């Protein structure tokens, strides 16, 4: 060793002196002044590649459809799909009227809500003949058929106390998507 020249450390010497430490698992990059291991010049090492999951999509589980119930009207889904028309401002509610796919309080008059469902179901691809009513209790019934002839939907809009309530029967033969 020449006393007039400063001593140069080789990566192996550093690893040996530190017992691995930050440089454990590192390999020489071939570049004498750059280290990806700690981001500082002069160490001459870079880390082993580490697989990254950043930016990769995480699979989203598909929710299972709800169950089904047999009613006097027929077999129905115990819910409506997200694609089913829902009047803005409507909220889920409960009545003692029996099973339904959905029961919603609707911020509108009964006739107005029934007409909204006629238009919205038609826009969503259902064949709607119109609304029946008003019946003796002031309610309206909207019957519709889906793209498949076996798919039947019925929306009954009635006054329950001070609320207009839409009771939706979504036939079990209708696709749930």
3-state secondary structure the chain: CCCCCCCCCCHHHHHHHHCCHHHCCCEECCCCCCCCCCCCCCCCEECCCCCCCCCCCCCCCCCCCCCEEECCCCEEECCCCCCCCCCCCCEECCCCCCCCCEEEEECCCHHHHHHHHHHHHHHCCCEEEEEECCCCCCCEEEEEECCCCCCEEEEEEEEECCEEEEEEEEECCCCCC
pLDDT-above-70 percentage for the chain: 64
Q: Are residues 37 and 75 in the same domain?
A: no
Question: Would 58 be classed as within a structural domain?
Answer: no
Structural domain boundaries enclosing 22: 11-46
pLDDT at 107: 95
Question: Would 123 be classed as within a structural domain?
Answer: yes
pLDDT at 35: 41
pLDDT at 129: 84
Q: Are residues 96 and 154 in the same domain?
A: yes
Q: Are residues 91 and 125 in the same domain?
A: yes
pLDDT (tens digit per residue) in 107-120: 999 999 999 999 99
Q: Are residues 80 and 161 in the same domain?
A: yes
Q: Are residues 93 and 24 in the same domain?
A: no
Question: Would 52 be classed as within a structural domain?
Answer: no
Q: Are residues 95 and 159 in the same domain?
A: yes
Name the maximum alpha-carbon separation found in the chain.
Answer: 111
Question: Would 59 be classed as within a structural domain?
Answer: no
Q: Are residues 38 and 116 in the same domain?
A: no
pLDDT at 14: 42
Q: Are residues 78 and 158 in the same domain?
A: yes
pLDDT (tens digit per residue) in 160-173: 999 999 999 999 99
Q: Are residues 102 and 41 in the same domain?
A: no
Q: Are residues 32 and 118 in the same domain?
A: no
Q: Are residues 89 and 161 in the same domain?
A: yes
Number of domains in the chain: 2
pLDDT (tens digit per residue) in 9-47: 444 444 444 444 444 444 444 444 444 444 445 445 555
pTM of the predicted structure, to 2 decimals: 0.65
Q: Are residues 21 and 108 in the same domain?
A: no
Question: Would 54 be classed as within a structural domain?
Answer: no
């Amino acid at each position: 060793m020449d006393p007039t020249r400063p001593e140069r450390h080789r990566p192996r010497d550093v690893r040996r002196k530190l017992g691995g430490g930050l440089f454990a698992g590192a390999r020489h990059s071939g570049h004498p002044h750059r280290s990806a291991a700690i981001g500082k010049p002069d160490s001459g090492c870079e880390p082993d590649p580490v697989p990254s999951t950043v930016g990769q999509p995480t699979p989203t589980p598909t929710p299972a459809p709800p169950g089904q119930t047999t009613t006097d009207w027929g077999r129905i889904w115990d819910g409506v799909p997200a694609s089913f028309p829902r009047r803005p401002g409507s909220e889920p509610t409960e009545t003692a009227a029996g099973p339904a796919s959905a029961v919603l309080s609707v911020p509108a008059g009964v006739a107005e809500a029934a007409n909204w469902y006629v238009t919205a179901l038609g826009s969503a691809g259902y064949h709607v003949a119109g609304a029946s009513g008003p019946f003796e209790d002031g309610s309206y019934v909207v019957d519709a058929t889906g793209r498949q002839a076996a798919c039947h939907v019925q929306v009954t809009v009635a006054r329950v106390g001070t609320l207009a309530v839409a009771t939706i029967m979504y036939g079990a033969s209708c696709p749930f998507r």
